[in-house]
Chains A and B, each alone.
Chain A
């Protein structure tokens, strides 16, 4: 098989198509939400809606177990708090502060930024991968998660997992030739980009809506969100 041609395709045409699908899909999802109509809230507030929103995001910045602000909840959901937190933290750091990824951003945006040394990025991705396996096992055994997980939930994990493992194996030059792994990594990324607007991975966009609504609702009532 001509892996160079596949790599060319995965990095070139397919990547651009995937990117287009991603952007168009997310714009569509956003527009649909906005166009569904937003009734004005006519209730007189007791506290500050804006203050509530601020507080809600402040707390949300910590999807992380350092501040278990709801007593018993962090301790009752240790796997999701810790593994979920590590997974997202690793993911964001690697995507934004890994040198190779930054260069992709640079080619897309036209400017770059300083990155982290490879060993740190490497460790973070390893931990993030381990965390994802933890999340997967948790989803397999937790009775509530079993009940609420359909095919889409399993695919979410798989499709986010693939770019991460292929990327990791690639940087370590394990098992396969470099072009093969790079191609697989890029194909996985392309699939992920297309999958995001079709799935709940788009939660990163709606997060800003739900958190704001939550904060405004609690702020309105003068209760800490």
Chain B
């Protein structure tokens, strides 16, 4: 194991903003109650502040006098191999990087990004859970964590175009917008592709897909490896540059949006003038500006519809209002909010790569029970969302618990209710 690499990474990533936040923590423990993993299991090790423990130790032992003194006196222990293996289970199998904890920290510590730093160190130490790492490696070699190779992608797109009779422009130079789907959509929710294509075509968007930049998911970002995060984003940016587009549209994937929209500019060169947007925001823009028209009340007669906020698209993406505006048109009477919602929403439990790791299943399902409770309380028959990773977790867990709710992608709902 490469314990020293992990420690070096911690040290490298400790800028003033990391240090200031670590220093601010009063160890009040309030963040525990915000974490759905703690809520669902009561395991004190799932407290966000405890997940940060390694980063705190590395920082204090390297940079602070009291930390050095405590290390010398044996009150604090140096970071060991065993620590890294243990924290790997906490960080990858019991944290979705949803950043809910940051909402409740009385000191306002932005815990999520700090947890991401812990993952980065663990990835340098090569203690990433095997299944997650296998998916990362697959994305490196095949271009997709789910094995969507070039030929699979070609077949799949051809099939979608046939099946739903929709036009899918590929590698069109001079288009305005590059649309990048995730493998999850391509393999598990292909109807999403046709739905988004229909919406874009209806709005008269000049858009294109790209063979080169065909994967929006970023498993390097889940892993926490800056190198691979960049590599996967570079593929998208290269494609955008080659096609000369002005905007990149991230489809129903949350982590990808966080990486491309909110992280890329700080770790690599983003092509000048390129804008990264999300389908949830774009639909909102289209509706507001009248570029697409929706059938009012289209879903008002199928029982209560609720909306699940994805951590990376709503809380950390800022597209909180748009889906609600859309649902208030589509189902003004049937749409009901769960509590808590919006920026305070409870995460689905499958994000951050958790769903890819078998060992995380017990807590992933435990967490989903919180979601089931929420849905039951509003009597939801349908739950809409804007992230296909959430959707994967919902589809799987609803089956696991045998719950009778319909899982719907918002784009799909919009596409099916387009006014001619």
Q: Does B283 contact A (CB under 8 A)?
A: no
Q: Does A60 contact B (CB under 8 A)?
A: yes
How far apart are A203's CB and chain B's nearest CB, in angstroms? 5
Total B residues in contact with A, Cβ cutoff 8 Å: 59
Selected contact of B103 from candidates A36, A70, A220, CB within 8 Å? A70
Considering only CB atoms, which chain B residue lies closest to A199 in the complex?
B66
How far apart are A31's CB and chain B's nearest CB, in angstroms? 11
Whether the Cβ atoms of A217 and B47 lie closer than 8 Å is: no
Considering only CB atoms, which chain B residue lies closest to A40 in the complex?
B266
User: Which residues of A have CB within 8 Å of B63?
Assistant: 32, 36
How far apart are B367's CB and chain A's nearest CB, in angstroms? 15
Q: Does A213 contact B (CB under 8 A)?
A: yes
User: Which residues of A have CB within 8 Å of B266?
Assistant: 39, 41-43
User: Which residues of A have CB within 8 Å of B27?
Assistant: 145, 148-149, 153, 200
Q: Does B82 contact A (CB under 8 A)?
A: no
Q: Does B29 contact A (CB under 8 A)?
A: yes
Whether the Cβ atoms of B29 and A80 lie closer than 8 Å is: yes
User: Which of A37, A63, A206, A220 counts the most B-chain CB atoms under 10 A from its CB?
Assistant: A206
Q: Does A38 contact B (CB under 8 A)?
A: yes
Q: Does A76 contact B (CB under 8 A)?
A: yes
Interface residues of B in 97-133 (CB under 8 A from A): 102-110, 113
Q: Does A222 contact B (CB under 8 A)?
A: yes
Per-residue B-contact encoding for A189-225, CB less than 8 Å = 1, 0 else: 0000000001110110011011101110110111111
Q: Does A143 contact B (CB under 8 A)?
A: yes
Q: Does A142 contact B (CB under 8 A)?
A: yes
Whether the Cβ atoms of B108 and A146 lie closer than 8 Å is: no
Whether the Cβ atoms of A73 and B30 lie closer than 8 Å is: yes
Complex alpha-carbon distance, A111 and B338, angstroms: 54
Complex alpha-carbon distance, A41 and B106, angstroms: 24
Q: Is the interface of A mostly helix, strand, loop or mixed?
A: helix
Q: Does B351 contact A (CB under 8 A)?
A: no
A42 with B44, Cβ < 8 A, contacts A144-B32, A223-B320 known: no
Q: Does B318 contact A (CB under 8 A)?
A: yes
Whether the Cβ atoms of B19 and A221 lie closer than 8 Å is: no
25 intermolecular pairs with C-beta atoms under 8 Å apart? A33-B19, A33-B20, A35-B16, A36-B14, A36-B63, A56-B108, A60-B108, A80-B28, A80-B30, A143-B42, A144-B38, A145-B28, A145-B29, A148-B27, A148-B49, A150-B76, A152-B70, A153-B27, A206-B20, A206-B21, A209-B21, A210-B107, A213-B108, A214-B109, A224-B343
Binding site for B on A (CB under 8 A): 29, 32-39, 41-44, 46-47, 56, 60, 63, 70-73, 76-77, 80, 84, 142-153, 198-200, 202-203, 206-207, 209-211, 213-215, 217-218, 220-225
